[in-house]
């Protein structure tokens, strides 16, 4: 089925949820006048985003973010920062990480922030055309970092509305944590969308079972359960209520 239309008729969140829930692979093209963005996906996960007219080398973005400087880049790659555009992004990233100038987590956090920033811009568009080209591959030499769509979209939507992120987004989830449903405003306007995987996890939430127990009950890999729980916490659906120690003693906040 062709996924195409105008953002006046189909809002960007609906488009992204369709790609994520359908675990689709390809390129989403977004256009409004001279503005253009291309977002690449694999299995419903965000891989890479490119903006129209942005020929800034990847290393320049890292330098602007304060993650590296010109001296560190040249030390790691043997190439002056001014010539960074001559080197494929993925090669530069590998050399920076190998030289311990940059960590994989710093790179991921930068990509996450960049994706949320782009989403915030497009969410503010009053209209615009979109089309999803199934199967379109990521351009060669670009850095691919799989990122979950739903929590990024939730953060971008909160940023557009001017609301600060909730406290439960600060720390990553651990297997011993106990989660429960957050109190939600019954009069709040809005629809919450969850994936099939997220719904399976929600059916096990009782405010007592730790995340490792949920993973065992669902016969699912623990990292997957931690990721899903983190996504639902970022959406404000779940909150951390305590933890279960290895000896089985519960500790609640």
Whether 178 and 144 share a structural domain: no
- Counted domains in the chain: 2
117 and 173 share one domain = no
Choose the weakest-confidence range: 13-22, 81-90, 175-184: 175-184
Proportion of the chain above pLDDT 70, given as a percent? 86
- Cα 199 to Cα 5: distance, rounded to the nearest angstrom: 28
Residues 174 and 248 in one domain: yes
Confidence band of 170 (pLDDT split at 50, 70, 90):
very low
Q: Over the stretch 194-211, which tens digit does the pLDDT of each residue have?
A: 888 889 999 999 988 999
Across 138-142, 153-157, 240-244, the highest mean pLDDT is recorded for 138-142
Ramachandran angles phi, psi of 104, nearest 5°: -65, -35
Query: Do residues 104 and 216 share a domain?
Result: no
- Sorted by sequence, the CB contacts under 8 Å of residue 247 that are 6+ apart come out as none
Q: Are residues 128 and 175 in the same domain?
A: no
Which tens digits make up the pLDDT trace of 82-106?
999 899 999 999 999 999 999 988 9
147 and 214 assigned to the same domain? no
Task: State the pLDDT at residue 178.
Answer: 86
Name the phi and psi angles at 47, rounded to 5: -110, -45
Distance CA 226, CA 201 (A): 10
Average pLDDT over residues 53-75: 88
How many residues does the structure list for the chain? 253
Please tell me whether residues 207 and 232 are part of one structural domain.
yes
Instruction: Quote the pLDDT of residue 245.
Output: 53
Same domain, 141 and 184: no
Asked whether residue 144 falls in the same domain as residue 198, the answer is: no
At which of 163, 178, 199 does a domain end?
Answer: 163
Question: Which structural domain, as residue segments, surrounds residue 199?
Answer: 167-252
Domain stops at, among 114, 147, 163: 163
* Statement to judge: residues 132 and 185 lie in one domain: no
Q: CA 42, CA 24: separation in Å to the nearest integer?
A: 6
Q: In this structure, what token pair is assigned to residue 183?
A: 């109190």
- Going by C-alpha positions, the residue among 134, 143, 131 that lies closest to residue 91 is 143
Name residue 46's beta-bridge partners: 41, 147
Cα 146 to its chain centre, rounded Å, is: 8
Could you tell me the two tokens for 200? 């399976």
- What CATH number has the domain bearing residue 216? 1.10.10.10
Q: Does residue 130 share a domain with residue 189?
A: no
Q: Is pLDDT above 90 for 168?
A: no
If asked whether residues 155 and 171 sit together in one domain, one would say no
pTM for this entry? 0.65
- Kindly give, in sequence order, each residue whose CB lies less than 8 Å from that of residue 37, ignoring residues fewer than 6 positions away: 29, 30, 31, 49, 50, 51, 52, 118, 122
Q: What average pLDDT does the chain have?
A: 84
The residue written with tokens 């290895």 in the block is: 246
Both tokens of 56, joined, read 């800034």
Cite the beta strand spans of the chain per DSSP E.
3-6, 26-32, 35-42, 45-51, 129-134, 177-181, 238-244, 250-252
Helices (H), the chain: 12-21, 58-64, 70-77, 89-98, 104-123, 149-161, 196-202, 211-218, 222-234
Q: Which of 130, 163, 196 is the last residue of a domain?
A: 163
Q: Which residues of 180-217 are buried (b: 16+ CB within 10 A; e: fewer)?
A: bebeeeeeeeeeeebbebbeebbebbeeebbbbbbbee
């Amino acid at each position: 089925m062709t996924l195409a239309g105008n953002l006046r008729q189909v809002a960007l969140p609906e488009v992204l949820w369709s790609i994520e829930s359908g675990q689709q692979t390809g390129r989403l093209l977004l256009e409004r006048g001279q503005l253009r963005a291309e977002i690449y996906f694999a299995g419903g996960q965000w891989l890479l985003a490119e903006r129209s007219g942005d020929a800034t080398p990847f290393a320049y973005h890292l330098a602007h973010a304060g993650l590296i400087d010109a001296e560190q880049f040249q030390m790691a790659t043997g190439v002056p920062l001014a010539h960074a555009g001559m080197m494929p992004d993925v090669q530069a990233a590998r050399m920076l990480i190998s030289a311990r100038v940059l960590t994989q987590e710093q790179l991921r956090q930068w990509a996450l922030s960049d994706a949320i920033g782009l989403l915030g811009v497009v969410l503010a568009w009053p209209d615009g055309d979109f089309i999803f080209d199934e199967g379109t591959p990521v351009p060669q030499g670009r850095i691919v970092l799989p990122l979950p769509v739903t929590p990024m979209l939730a953060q971008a939507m909160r940023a557009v509305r001017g609301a600060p992120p909730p406290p439960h987004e600060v720390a990553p989830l651990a297997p011993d944590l106990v989660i429960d449903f957050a109190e939600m405003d019954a009069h709040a306007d809005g629809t919450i969308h969850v994936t099939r995987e997220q719904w399976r996890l929600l059916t096990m939430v009782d405010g007592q079972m730790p995340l490792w127990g949920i993973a065992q009950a669902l016969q699912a890999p623990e990292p997957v359960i931690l990721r899903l729980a983190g996504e639902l916490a970022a959406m404000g659906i779940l909150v951390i209520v305590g933890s279960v120690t290895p000896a089985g003693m519960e500790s609640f906040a």
